[in-house]
Every structure is written in structure tokens, then in C-alpha cells.
């Protein structure tokens, strides 16, 4: 499949789509889109309890919307910055999980490039393409229209 771009809110993604975000294994959702995930799905305690190492994923089923949420564990503490290698490992873990459980679509914000500071076009997007271009899982990247991030 290919990676697709969409303008709009990530939370307006197709109901069959899993959603994903980067977060820390300590389960603190303190800023950025993580706050919206926490307000909507309240999964920070579950992420913390799963004790997933950096480079893994904490998949959680949000029963209120019948939707799978992929929490990509790209750092140990919320105040840290992820490395491209840790983003790659988490994305690869997400792809393997999605393929194993036949998840057809994953929708993501511009992960690791906002508050986390990685370069979207030169670092993160090429990693996503490298991992998902040969996968049957479709990936949609959502960008908000008002600020382009």
C-alpha cells in the first residue's frame, strides 16, 4: 500500500481506521495531540501499566469508539525526544501487529515531528514509506488545515 496525505482532524478518520500517536512509556500525555488522545480515550494509565520498552507499541482498544489505538513508544519519559531509530522500531512493531491482526487502515498525525522535533519531510516520512510501502496496510497522514502541522 502507499502512504496517503489527508487534510483535516485525525479524529475524523474512517471508523475502520486504527489511530496512532507517539508517546512515552511512562504514560504521561502532557502536551500536543497526546492531550486530545487522553481526553478522548483516557488510555494513559493503560499505557503505563503495559510497561512497553522504547521501540515497541501499546495497542489499546477504545471501546467508546470501537477503534484500535496504537501508542508508539518512542521514548521512556514524556520530556525526552525520540530518535529516528526508536521511531522506526515502533513503526515496524505497529506494522507487524497490524498485518498479523488484519488491520486495514492506520491513520496518524505527523508523528515525532511536532513537539518531538524530528524533521518530518527528511526523517519521519521516509521512515514511514520505507516500512509501509510494501505492506497491505494503508496509512493516512492527517494534517490540520489551520496550521499545517
Give me the domains of the chain, ranges plus CATH numbers. Answer: 3-143 (3.40.220.10)
Asked if residues 70 and 59 have their Cβ atoms less than 8 Å apart, the reply is yes
Confidence at residue 1, expressed as pLDDT on a 0 to 100 scale: 63
Q: What is the pLDDT of residues 29-56, one digit of tens each?
A: 777 888 888 888 888 888 888 999 999 9
Question: Which positions are catalytic?
Answer: 75, 116
Is the pTM here over 0.75, yes or no? yes
CB atoms within 10 A of CB 40: 15
Strands (E), 35-137: 57-62, 67-75, 105-108
| SS3 state at 10 | helix
Q: Residue 32 and residue 74: Cα distance in Å, rounded? A: 15
Q: What is the pLDDT of residues 87-106, one digit of tens each?
A: 999 999 999 999 999 999 99
Amino acid at each position: 500500500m502507499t502512504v496517503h496525505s489527508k487534510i483535516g482532524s485525525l479524529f475524523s478518520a474512517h471508523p475502520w481506521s486504527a489511530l496512532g500517536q507517539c508517546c512515552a512509556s511512562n504514560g504521561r500525555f502532557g502536551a500536543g495531540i497526546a492531550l486530545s488522545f487522553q481526553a478522548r480515550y483516557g488510555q494513559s494509565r493503560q499505557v503505563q501499566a503495559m510497561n512497553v520498552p522504547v521501540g515497541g507499541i501499546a495497542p489499546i482498544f477504545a471501546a467508546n469508539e470501537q477503534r484500535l489505538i496504537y501508542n508508539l513508544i518512542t521514548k521512556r519519559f514524556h520530556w525526552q525526544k525520540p530518535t529516528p531509530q526508536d521511531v522506526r522500531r515502533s513503526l515496524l512493531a505497529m506494522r507487524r501487529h497490524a498485518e498479523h491482526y488484519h488491520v486495514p487502515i492506520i491513520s496518524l498525525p505527523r508523528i515525532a515531528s511536532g513537539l518531538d522535533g524530528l524533521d518530518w519531510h527528511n526523517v519521519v516520512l521516509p521512515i514511514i514509506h520505507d516500512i509501509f510501502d510494501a505492506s497491505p496496510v494503508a496509512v493516512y497522514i492527517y494534517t490540520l488545515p489551520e496550521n499545517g502541522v
